[in-house]
Homo-oligomer: A and B are copies of this chain.
Amino acid sequence: MSTTHRIEVDLGERSYPIVIGRGLLGGNFDIANYVQGDDCLVVSNDTVAPLYLERLRANLTGRDVASISLPDGESFKTLATMQMVLDELVRGGANRDTTIVALGGGVVGDIAGFAAACYMRGVSFIQVPTTLLAQVDSSVGGKTGVNHEQGKNLIGAFHQPRLVLIDTDTLDTLDERELRAGLAEVIKYGAICDPAFFAWLEENIQALLGKDPDALAHAIRRSCELKAEVVADDERETGRRAILNFGHTFGHAIERCQGYGEWLHGEAVAAGMLMAAELSGIDELERLRNLVAAAGLPVEPPPISPADWLAAMGMDKKIQRKKLRFVLLEKLGEAVTTSDYDEARLQRLLGSPA
């Protein structure tokens, strides 16, 4: 039951382990081994810090540990919040040997990682993701950044952590809506590159929603393995890594049109995956829809006008030379990135008159 799994993200001199298990913050893993200098700054938020900061601190004895708690929520994922972290580093006299530890969900990890990328042109950082979404997706792979008011993650850096520490006990306190949002990214991995895992999810979705520890541990482990493999292949997303954005072109547009934070990222991705699957014209659309629905995730986007859709997607990072590119499914378990899609079907999906 309390087995610890270790997955290596193979990136040459930037390689690092993902360690998954129970009680890791409580002493089952020596984090301090990954803190190279004498001091570290723990970046957390007002929701997570009261729950887990002291447990983490107890694991960093002998180090000079400072902490900062950011306001919680996607709407705070801005350059201004990132500057709060930089100011705290400067105030504490942080140097090039300082390690930043991100304790929280995807927003905390993205901001803290970007601050680590920029402070003195790069210091070490450790991801301690405490939401399912961060554990299976955002903490792995080195994408860091903040939102611009005109688009998600428009400002950022690739900066790999030295360690991703996933203590699955932290999911005990995760609320149900956040849990479901995380499952959207888990389902994504099955849909884009592992049909057997997709079938396993169909079998085990109720156990996952019920926070069954073994089911969660398996889902997290398999998701991290798949992501680690894709990232090792294409760290900077010049090719294959783009398949991880399945559902995200539509999903980012939903988030942008609704205002960040109104829909959770995973919810927007869920509806976005179904739109992308429909645009793909695959036979197994209903299987994906049923799994998304079983996970309690939205199967339809919110009402957005065709003009708003297009404007919101016009700023999407996946555009190359002004032509829209989508991640589509050849079939369930196999994704491609392409600009070759059915234009009429896209118009219908966006609600344009035929």
Contacts and interface: CB of A to CB of B under 8 A. Distances in A.
Interface of A: 37-38, 79, 83, 86-87, 90-91, 93, 95-97, 117-122, 143, 145, 148, 150-151, 153-158, 236, 314-315, 317, 319-322
Contact of A320 (B87, B95, B314): B95
Given A86-B154, A118-B145, A121-B153, 10 more contacts: A37-B321, A90-B148, A90-B315, A93-B314, A96-B317, A96-B320, A117-B157, A120-B156, A121-B143, A121-B156
30 contacts: A37-B321, A38-B321, A86-B154, A86-B155, A90-B148, A90-B150, A90-B154, A90-B315, A91-B150, A93-B314, A95-B320, A95-B321, A95-B322, A96-B319, A96-B320, A97-B321, A117-B157, A118-B145, A118-B155, A118-B156, A119-B154, A120-B156, A120-B317, A121-B145, A121-B153, A121-B156, A121-B157, A121-B158, A122-B157, A157-B157
A87 B154 CA distance: 10
Given A90-B151, A151-B90, A95 B317 contact: yes
A125 B157 CA distance: 15
A95 B313 CA distance: 12
Contacts of A145: 118, 121
Contacts of A158: 121-122
Nearest to A120: B317
A317 B119 CA distance: 10
A35 to B, nearest CB: 13
Given A151-B90, A154-B90, A320 B118 contact: no
A148 B93 contact: no
A157 B97 contact: no
A147 to B, nearest CB: 11
Top 10 nearest A-B pairs by Cβ distance?
A: A90-B150, A121-B156, A118-B155, A95-B319, A120-B317, A90-B148, A121-B158, A121-B157, A86-B155, A120-B154
B79 A320 contact: no
A340 to B, nearest CB: 19
Contacts of A157: 117-118, 121-122, 157
A226 to B, nearest CB: 21
Contacts of A150: 90-91
Contacts of A319: 95-96
Nearest to A89: B154
A317 B314 CA distance: 40
A175 B261 CA distance: 52
Contacts of A38: 321-322
Contacts of A153: 121
A122 B145 CA distance: 11
B148 A97 contact: no
A117 B322 CA distance: 21
A186 B119 CA distance: 28
Nearest to A117: B157
Contacts of A236: 121-122
A321 B38 CA distance: 7
A118 B110 CA distance: 13
Contacts of A91: 150
